[in-house]
């Protein structure tokens, strides 16, 4: 879109996006308030809000009521490449997806704990996803615990892990994903009796801007029944 045909909020969005890519506002820092942005650009609150909402949608900012808006990325890849989550793809195709927290506690896995350069205890949260009422995905999240008061309770069906990380003050800057197909272990068969003999394992490692691990997640999928799909919008 040419500059002269852009709406005012799109011009504000593009200016702020450029500032973010150039690290004027660092990942992990608080973003300027609506009042500050109104004064900077001499525009209305509605214009500022629309521009900020676009930056949130593009993956640069995270808005949390009562806590301000945080910068979560300075990477230009956010401009060109957005991918739907696997669960969003499933729901878009009519699959009923339900999740539930099944375990919360301190991690006793020494090998995983050593991945974190953290002085705080490493905790783990386990979740089971049901696809059309059949348990099909088992997820283990590992992370350094900053605030025990906001840990989810067992049975929580509305828990969002990445919102939880932000509430803990753990900001993701870079992510690595690794996939492997392996024979389904006995513990997973007990948790999901209808799972296939071969499970797809996804290991996700997230780092902060300093290069320290802030998340280590192991997800096991029954991919023979429901293939794992990545849908990129370029």
pLDDT at 76: 62
Hey, what domains does the chain have and what are their CATH numbers? 3-78 (1.10.10.10), 82-233 (3.40.1410.10)
pLDDT digits (tens, 9 = 90+) for 35-54: 999 999 999 999 999 999 88
Residue range 52-84, pLDDT digits in tens: 988 988 788 988 777 789 998 877 655 444 556
Instruction: Please write the tens of the pLDDT for every residue from 165-222.
Output: 877 878 777 889 999 999 999 999 999 998 999 999 999 999 887 789 999 999 999 9
Mapping DSSP onto H, E and C, the string for the chain reads CCHHHCCHHHHHHHHHHHHHHCCCCCCCCECCCHHHHHHHHCCCHHHHHHHHHHHHHCCCEEEECCCEEEECCCCCHHHHCEEECHHHHHHHCCCCEEEEEEEEEECCCHHHHCCCCCCCCEEEEEEEEEECCEEEEEEEEEEECCCHHHCCCCCCCCCCHHHHHHHCCCCCCEEEEEEEEEECCHHHHHHCCCCCCEEEEEEEEEECCCCCEEEEEEEEECCCCCCCCCEEEC
- For the stretch 134-176, pLDDT in tens is 999 999 999 999 889 989 999 999 898 887 887 787 877 788 9
């Amino acid at each position: 879109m040419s500059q002269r045909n852009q709406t005012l909020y799109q011009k504000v969005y593009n200016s702020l996006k450029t500032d973010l890519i150039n690290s004027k506002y660092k990942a992990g820092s608080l973003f300027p308030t609506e009042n500050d942005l109104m004064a900077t650009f001499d525009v209305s609150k509605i214009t500022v809000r629309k521009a900020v909402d676009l930056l949130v949608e593009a993956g640069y900012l995270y808005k949390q009521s009562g806590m301000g808006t945080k910068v979560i990325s300075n990477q230009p890849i956010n401009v060109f490449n957005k991918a739907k989550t696997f669960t969003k793809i499933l729901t878009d195709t009519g699959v009923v997806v339900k999740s539930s927290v099944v375990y919360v506690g301190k991690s006793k896995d020494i090998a995983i704990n050593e991945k974190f350069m953290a002085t705080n205890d490493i905790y783990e949260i386990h979740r089971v996803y049901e696809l059309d009422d059949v348990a099909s995905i088992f997820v283990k999240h590992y992370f350094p615990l900053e605030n025990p008061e906001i840990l989810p309770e067992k049975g929580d069906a509305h828990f969002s892990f990445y919102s939880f990380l932000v509430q803990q003050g753990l900001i993701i800057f870079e992510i690595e994903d690794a996939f492997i197909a392996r024979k389904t272990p006995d513990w997973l068969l007990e948790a999901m009796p209808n799972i296939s003999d071969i499970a797809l394992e996804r290991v996700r490692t997230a780092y902060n801007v300093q290069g320290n691990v802030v998340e280590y997640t192991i997800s096991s999928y029954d991919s023979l029944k429901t293939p794992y799909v990545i849908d990129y919008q370029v």
